[in-house]
């Protein structure tokens, strides 16, 4: 592999060359100025993110899974996004999964050499049983991480839909990135040369947030802007569940608590049971009939 000289994210940032001479406040303002550029870089890629969301939604709706594949910061962010979907949207833990070079240990300790072998990325997909019903999103700030490229190549060969998230101009890369959809926010040189956990990491987090949030909305996990499919596993989420049902139905907390208990703390069911005056079993039938889309189920029982 050739040197990293041509990578934008490895270049020195002219605006922060003197950062070690600044006061604390000046230093933070300089970092903040650079961070402000990230959302604009992501905005430029919304058409490609749109494509990605539609593919992901279709695969998930049909019973497939989204697999993030990455190394280092990119891998950790993929695992983070995947791990946050079940508590937020009551999604099956298998629905969105993160694969990181080096395995679980790499989540808390840097294992840099784990990213150097293409075959390991391909093998990780085989080990996880990834097939054509799934979708693979390779995350590689540099655009040349062998582990990620190997996974993308394998997926493409198998006819599995692929997405690549890269923060360097692809025309400058030594090797073509094989993918169906390329999301390519260019955030420029980092505040600290090569520290891609900063702007590139922020861009990655924003894009992954957009992909899974939009997909979950399209799958009926959200009503208005309320997370009606959350898993109430602690006091905070129990309270949130109660407040959501109160917000939608206008019923007081005591009644909402009673209904939620009857609904096994499934927020969608509790809302439907209250608005349609049906029991838990009937609410389940209505939601299943409308593929979990609460608004459609409400409209169906509200229509004359």
pLDDT of residue 37: 97
How many Cβ atoms are within 10 Å of 15's Cβ, its own excluded? Answer: 13
pLDDT of residue 234: 87
Q: Is 84 a catalytic residue?
A: yes
CA dihedral 55, 58, 63, 65 (to 10 degrees): 20
pTM, to two decimals? 0.91
- Where do the domains of the chain lie, and which CATH numbers do they carry? 8-218 (3.40.50.10490), 223-302 (1.10.8.1080)
Q: In sequence order, what are the residues at sequence separation of 6 or more whose Cβ sits closer than 8 angstroms to the Cβ of residue 172? A: 6, 7, 8
pLDDT of residue 1: 44
- Of 34, 115, 118, 190, which is the active-site residue? 115
CA-based end-to-end distance of the chain:
67
pLDDT of residue 4: 58
- Of 10, 34, 44, 84, which is the active-site residue? 84
Q: In sequence order, what are the residues at sequence separation of 6 or more whose Cβ sits closer than 8 angstroms to the Cβ of residue 171? A: none
pLDDT of residue 110: 77
Tell how strand 226-227 and strand 222-223 pair up.
antiparallel
d(CA 225, CA 222): 6
192's torsion region: left (phi>0), alpha (psi -120 to 50) or beta? beta
Can you tell me whether residue 198 is helix, strand or coil? coil
Closest CA to 91 of 181, 225, 218: 218
Q: 93-98: which pairs have CB atoms within 8 A and are 24 or more residues apart?
A: 94/65, 95/60, 95/65, 95/66, 96/65, 96/66, 96/68, 96/212, 97/65, 97/66, 97/67, 97/68, 97/128, 98/67, 98/68, 98/70
Q: Where are the alpha helices (DSSP H) in the chain?
A: 24-35, 37-43, 46-61, 72-89, 118-127, 146-157, 199-218, 235-249, 253-262, 267-276, 280-289, 294-302
pLDDT of residue 159: 98
Q: What are phi and psi of 230, to 5 degrees?
A: -70, 165
Which residues face 100 on adjacent strands?
Answer: 70
Q: Is 115 a catalytic residue?
A: yes
Q: In sequence order, what are the residues at sequence separation of 6 or more whose Cβ sits closer than 8 angstroms to the Cβ of residue 91? A: 85, 216, 221, 229
- pLDDT, one tens digit for every residue, the chain (304 residues): 445 556 898 999 999 999 999 999 999 999 999 999 999 999 999 999 999 999 999 999 999 999 999 999 999 999 999 999 998 898 999 999 999 999 998 888 877 778 889 999 999 999 999 999 999 999 999 999 999 999 999 999 999 999 999 999 988 787 889 999 999 999 999 999 999 999 999 999 999 999 999 999 999 999 999 999 987 878 998 999 999 999 999 999 999 999 999 999 999 999 999 999 999 999 999 999 999 999 999 999 876 5
């Amino acid at each position: 592999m050739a040197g990293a000289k041509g990578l934008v994210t490895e270049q020195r940032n002219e605006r922060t060359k003197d950062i070690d001479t600044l006061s604390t406040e000046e230093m933070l303002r300089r970092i903040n100025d650079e961070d402000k550029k990230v959302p604009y870089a992501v905005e430029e890629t919304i058409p490609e993110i749109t494509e990605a969301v539609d593919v992901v939604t279709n695969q998930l709706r049909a019973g497939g899974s989204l697999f993030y594949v990455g190394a280092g910061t990119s891998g950790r962010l993929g695992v983070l996004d995947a791990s946050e979907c079940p508590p937020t949207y009551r999604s099956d833990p298998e629905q969105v999964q993160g694969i990181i070079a080096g395995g679980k240990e790499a989540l808390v300790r840097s294992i840099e050499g784990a990213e150097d072998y293409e075959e390991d990325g391909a093998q990780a997909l085989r080990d996880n049983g990834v097939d054509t019903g799934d979708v693979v999103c390779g995350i590689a700030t540099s655009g040349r991480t062998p582990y990620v490229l190997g996974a993308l190549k394998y997926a493409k060969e198998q006819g599995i839909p692929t997405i690549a998230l890269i923060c360097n101009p692809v025309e400058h890369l030594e090797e073509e990135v094989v993918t169906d959809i390329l999301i390519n926010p260019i955030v420029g040189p980092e505040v600290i040369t090569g520290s891609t956990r900063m702007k590139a990491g922020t861009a990655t987090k924003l894009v992954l947030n957009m992909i899974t949030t939009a997909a979950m909305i399209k799958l009926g996990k959200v009503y208005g802007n309320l997370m009606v499919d959350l898993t109430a596993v602690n006091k905070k989420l129990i309270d949130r569940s109660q407040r959501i049902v109160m917000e939608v139905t206008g019923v007081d907390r005591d009644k909402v608590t009673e209904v939620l208990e009857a609904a096994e703390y499934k927020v969608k069911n509790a809302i439907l049971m209250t608005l349609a005056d049906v029991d838990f079993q009937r609410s389940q039938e209505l939601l299943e009939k409308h593929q979990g889309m609460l608004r459609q189920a409400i409209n169906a029982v509200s229509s004359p």
